[in-house]
Amino acid sequence: MITNTELEYKGNLYPDQIVDFNQDSDKFYFTTDNGVILEVTVIRNSTIRFRYATDHVMEPDFSYAISPDAPRGYKDLKAEETDTEYLISTAKVKILVDKKSLRVQISDLEGNIINEDELGFHYEENYTYGGNSVKMSKITQSGESFYGMGDKATHFNLKGKRVHNWVTDQYAFGKDQDPLYKAVPFYIGLHQNKAYGIFFDNTFKTHFDFAHERRNVTSFWAEGGEMNYYFFYGPDISRVVRSYTDLTGTPELPPLWALGYHQSKWSYFPESRVKQIASKFRKLKIPCDAIYLDIDYMDGFRCFTWDKTKFPDPKRMINELNEDGFKTVVMIDPGIKVDRDYWVYQEAIKNDYFCKRGDGPLMSGKVWPGQCNFPDYTNPKVREWWAGLYKELMSEVGAHAVWNDMNEPAVMEVPTKTAPLDTRHDFDGHPCSHRKAHNIYGMQMVRATYEGVKKYVYPKRPFVITRAAYSGTQRFASTWTGDNVATWEHLWIANVQVQRMCMSGMSFVGTDIGGFAEQPNGELFARWIQLGIFHPFCRVHSSGDHGDQEPWSFDKEVTDIVRKFIELRYQLLPYLYTSFYKYYKDSVPMIKPLVYHDQEDHQTHFRTDEFIFGDQILVCPVQEPNAKGRRMYIPRGRWFNYWTNETLEGGSEKWVDADIDKIPIFIKEGAIIPKYPVQQYVGELTIEELQLDVYYINGTENSMVYEDAQDGYDYTKGEYSLRNFKLTGKDKELILQQFKDGNYITSYETFKLNLMGLPFKIKSIKLDNETISLKDVKMNGGNTLHVTKDFTTLHIMGK
């Protein structure tokens, strides 16, 4: 018998009218006639969660992205009903839910629309895999811009773009190529000087269209799972970014050496070559804190082993490097070689820790060791086992940190570059296929690595790096942007990627300085170093297939320039560490794009090159060959040229001289920039005096310096030094007030104050209301003072 098999409901399905509503504390439930449920949860006054279900069934509520320490709390929550809609109000926003269509509109308390559904939630049954493809479309507001989305090698403003999230090993990726190594489904919208954010917490392959297909519509959708998104209201971009980062978490403070300069290559071996590299850094007096060992340190690329021919006594070597100030960072990949004589493989087989295909056999694929099986890091037992594998490497051999690579997971010689989609995962008790687990596989690997490293380097702090990531991975690891290329275009990409990552909650980020693939010339390498020393993670790394890429690999001029800028990074370590403290404590990104810095200035909305390092240093890399300078946008306000101390009024584009030995660097007026003396590695010197570069302002500016023991956990028990400075400048006086917190006693007793841009000659000085002799502050005829670190008020009066 032949029948018509056309599916009646094939295509998009939409919610019907609401037939039921109820409230349970901070949760509101709306049920439609055709079984769609909308759950609205008020997390905070300006953070609202929207979660949709079909067929009257909510899935188990589980997320890897959300931090267990995410703050909650609200006030003035109320709900009311009209003939046409439901209204939920908090102290910050109003949420309208339409009774006929379930569409949502969000406005501020004055009634200004912030975000509103176009078609809103809709879905389509996935007849290939089961479940639904879930979709959301929003109205694009007039003049709206879009930012965020993590690791995207495209223009910083995403207006008119379509991007995708499916973590992918993308060797030598190009501009606008997508997807890449990370999935961060979070974006920021900005219109009428009001900002909001949306985090689509769905680990399936996701897609975002920012008015690309239709100029008045922004949409996002996933190939499975739930429509589950969080809405954050600003109205400042800074508030949106901080709210998202609060939700997904921040890392603990790293050891200070992790913020130094690091040198890597695929690969440094044997031991004699590693020692040669280390020796040359010290001989040439180029500061360096870490040397990396890529996969060639292993025995046949077997993780947690050593090639005893290349490295006959790794414990001795690591100890000797450490005595000369070098930490050793080793790579660990997820692929475990199929080898029945290999102890890691034996343990995993015995305990059933490897991923399996849908019909039962082990998932296998070719990686560097050859045929490999892959641990299921979504299983808590596997993560605990994996963490334990680091005991010998960290506790006994003495490695200082671990670098997880290839953890997308990358699989060679298959078109998809990764595990088959029918691969099964535990997903912490919510069994699923690789379609759902792929984007968080690397995150769960590095989570297990973090737990192991943290356990076995204790009482010191862990330092872990990952290539693959999903939202929330920043709680466990730093990251870099993957296998880039030694080209000028990639220098531009590196700048944009790091700014975007910092806007997306992942501030501990950097790039392979100089490019991983191919070989930079000396000029490109110098220009890349000049950018890279301002990135929170600062590492040179290259494939080694195209030549050497150490600071001395080019000519003497380049070597001297590289040394000069690496020395600048070491001088700025207390400033960088303070920025990390603000990130850790208050979710403030360590690098701020200009639109973050001043969203009300529409000239910032499409800038890609300039950024704010920390809170008070403006940086603009030179990204073209043969340049003697460049035009750049100076944000509103008054800025000091770092090299000349000349001042500029911002709010317009300027030509700035920047020959090969300089890049444009400007300091915000009123800033106090702390500096250490140049060290060859963190801890080489006892800091005997903290230098404070004080930039005059006619007005008021606040600055901060955070310090602690630079490692260990005493800072969590009050053993830190936090100095808040308030600088007030007038025509003929400058007042510096200090407010101290914490119990840590620094090694130095005095500040060296370099007073920049004073419009008057110093006549007298009062320290805590006592007039002191100019001789006592060792002025020596200039605007340099030496004062005790524990003053409360320093009052400088002019003639």
Which of the residues are catalytic? 405, 408, 483
Nearest to 152 by CA among 588, 493, 473, 421: 493
Backbone angles phi, psi at 426, to 5 degrees: -75, -40
Give the CA diameter of the chain.
108
Residue 168 sits at the vertex; the CA angle it makes with 166 and 173, to the nearest 5 degrees, is: 120
Q: Are 425 and 289 in contact (CB under 8 A)?
A: no
CA–CA dist 550, 531 (Å, integer): 16
Query: What region, left, alpha or beta, does residue 82 occupy, with left being phi > 0 and alpha being psi -120 to 50 degrees?
Result: beta
Percent helix, strand and coil across the chain, each to the nearest 5: 20, 35, 45
Q: Are 798 and 758 in contact (CB under 8 A)?
A: yes
CA–CA dist 570, 430 (Å, integer): 47
Q: Is 433 helix (H, G, I), strand (E, B) or coil?
A: strand
Nearest to 403 by CA among 490, 297, 502, 491: 297
Q: Is 556 helix (H, G, I), strand (E, B) or coil?
A: helix
Instruction: Say which residues have a Cβ less than 8 Å from residue 316's Cβ, sequence separation at least 6.
Output: none
Q: Are 206 and 24 in contact (CB under 8 A)?
A: no
Query: What region, left, alpha or beta, does residue 626 occupy, with left being phi > 0 and alpha being psi -120 to 50 degrees?
Result: left
Nearest to 432 by CA among 223, 183, 230: 223
CA–CA dist 528, 784 (Å, integer): 33
Specify the residue for token string 């919510």: 430
How far CA 128 is from CA of 88, 125, 665, in Å, comes to 38, 9, 55
How far CA 603 is from CA of 529, 634, 636, 650, 651, in Å, comes to 28, 10, 10, 11, 8
How far CA 481 is from CA of 196, 443, 490, in Å, comes to 26, 15, 11
Q: Are 508 and 479 in contact (CB under 8 A)?
A: yes
Specify the residue for token string 């700014």: 499
Specify the residue for token string 């392959």: 205
Question: For 494-528, b where at least 16 C-beta lie within 10 A, e where not — what string?
Answer: bbbbbbbbbbbbbbbbbbbbbbbbbbbebbbbbbb
CA–CA dist 52, 30 (Å, integer): 9
Specify the residue for token string 């290839």: 406
Token duo for residue 245: 């980062």
Q: With residue 276 as reference, give the H or E element that holds it.
A: helix 271-283
Q: How far apart, in Å, do the first and last CA atoms of the chain sit?
A: 106
CA–CA dist 139, 114 (Å, integer): 10
Token duo for residue 575: 């400033």
User: Measured in whole angstroms, how far is the alpha carbon of residue 338 from the centre of its chain?
Assistant: 35
Q: Which residues pair with 655 in a beta bridge?
A: 631
How far CA 26 is from CA of 57, 96, 98, in Å, comes to 20, 16, 19
Q: Is 429 helix (H, G, I), strand (E, B) or coil?
A: coil
How far CA 332 is from CA of 271, 301, 409, 782, in Å, comes to 18, 9, 13, 54
Q: With residue 133 as reference, give the H or E element that holds it.
A: strand 132-139
